[in-house]
Each structure stands twice: as structure tokens, then as C-alpha cells.
Amino acid sequence: MIVIPAIDLLDGKPVRLYQGDYNKDEQVGGDALEIARQFKADGAQYLHVVDLNGAKKGERIHYDLIAEIIRSTGMKVEVGGGIRTMKDIKAYLDRGAQRVILGTAALNDRDFLVEALDTYKDHIAVGIDCKDGMVCASGWLEQSTVDYIDFAIDMEQLGVKTIIFTDISKDGTLAGPNLDMLEKLKKHVSMNIIASGGVKDIEDIEDLAQLEVYGAIAGKSLYAGTLDLKEAIEVAKGETAC
């Protein structure tokens, strides 16, 4: 299993949201680039970056900053938030992103998703952000009537190889990942599953590794100091790689 530290960008600042609420943001540092460099110094090879403004507006708001993070760290960066067109995907991949995450676009524009998969294949990941088991979109502000299991099965049938699963009720809470939902997901699909939301400490990393998910995203726990990134990477080492 790989451990992926996370940086969420809002108005140019690195923040963490509580349960996806834009009105409950907490700035976690002064400089996203310096945070990314520290993650790399701690041994991280991968980085998860989300443009929160972009997710709401459907545009690449933090493109230049994210491109600089990719360039200056050399990390394998997966990027999400506001990616709605083939031009958006190409822009990030051309700047060195490892994967582009489609969330709202994957849910609402099937033709676009199919075109993206045909063109960029494994460089496309799909974010499955859910609340009460239903998939959400537009920066988690809109809840659909699509069940997360049904959506995941559909994505696998289309050829998606990697999904990032987030239980929004867990995100930013340090309450532990939703292992039950993840276990159900693993029973229905064979894709690479990256678990996001709720990770607090090394025990959570151990639990996710035992569940044999592909990856675990850690955000607030790293900023709050309840999880040591070096230890987490060491515990998870030896599992799957990108």
C-alpha cells in the first residue's frame, strides 16, 4: 500500500475542510510548495492535490501553483478539482502530473469520461466522493441519487483502473476511515482503491493495509501531528506502487 499526503488549495492557501464544508476551512500552513517539499523530504513519492476553488467553479483556478509543485518536487502528483475538459487534462499531464482525477465530470458527462479514458488510459482516476452512500459532485456540494457501489461498478466496466474513495462524513474529522464501506467496495470491484477521509494515526494505516487497498491518503492527521508520515510510509511499504 502506498501512503499519499494531501494538499487542498483554497484561495491560494493550503487548507483542510471539515466534512467537505467550505465554511469550515482551516489553514494548515503558509506555503503549499514548502509543505510539498517537506512531504518529499519525509520520504513521500506521491502527492494528492485538490483545487477546491476549481471544484466549485469547474475551472483550473490553482493551475500555476500546482504545476510549480509538480515541477519543483518531482513527486508523482495526482490532481483533482475543476477538471471538466480534455484541455484541462492535457494541461496537467503536460506539466508532469501522474494522474488526473475526474469527479463531477465522471458523474455528469459519460462521453467525456470515455474520451478521456480512451486517450489517457491509466492517467485517469475517478474520485468517488459520497455522503450517506450517494455520490456527490461540484466540490461535494451536490448530492446525487447514484449509489457509490453502483457507480464504482460502472466505472470499472468503462475501464477505470484507479478510484479515490472518500466518505465525506469522515473527511477532516480524524475519526478513522470508513472500513465497512471500503470492504464492501472491494467485494464488488477489482480496481485500485485509494482510501481517503478520516485517517488519524498509524493504527488506521495498519487497518487499511490489512484491508489491502491500493493506497491511503492522509491530510489532517499529518498537519495535526497525529500521524508521522515517515512511520506511515514505512508501515505501508512493500505493497502496490503506481
Angle CA 183–240–199, to nearest 5: 50
Model pLDDT, residue 38: 97
242 domain residue, yes or no: no
Cα atoms in the 13 Å half-sphere on the side-chain side of 169: 10
Measured torsion, CA atoms of residues 180, 181, 186, 188, in degrees rounded to the nearest 10: 120
25 is catalytic: no
C-alpha–C-alpha distance, residues 32 and 50, integer Å:
11
| CATH at 106 | 3.20.20.70
Least confident of 14-18, 135-139, 173-177, 188-192: 135-139
Q: Find the mean pLDDT for residues 228-237.
A: 96
Q: Active-site residue among 88, 129, 167, 204?
A: 129
Q: Please, which pLDDT band fits residue 115 given cuts at 50, 70 and 90?
A: very high
Q: Which tens digit of pLDDT belongs to each residue from 143-174?
A: 889 999 999 999 999 999 999 999 988 888 89
215 domain residue, yes or no: yes
241 domain residue, yes or no: no
Q: Please measure the distance between the N-terminal and C-terminal CA atoms of the chain and give it in whole angstroms.
A: 10
11 domain residue, yes or no: yes
Is the pLDDT at 102 greater than 90? The verdict is yes
> Cell numbers at residue 83, please?
477538471
143 domain residue, yes or no: yes
Task: Give 125's strand partners.
Answer: 101
Q: Active-site residue among 8, 51, 167, 204?
A: 8
> Cell numbers at residue 210, please?
490489512
Instruction: Give how many domains the chain has, as a whole number.
Output: 1
Percent of all residues in the chain with a pLDDT value above 70, rounded to a whole number: 97
Model pLDDT, residue 172: 82
C-alpha–C-alpha distance, residues 185 and 68, integer Å:
35
Model pLDDT, residue 140: 59
Q: Which domain holds residue 130?
A: 2-236
Q: Would you give the distance in Å from CA 210 to the centre of its chain?
A: 20
88 is catalytic: no
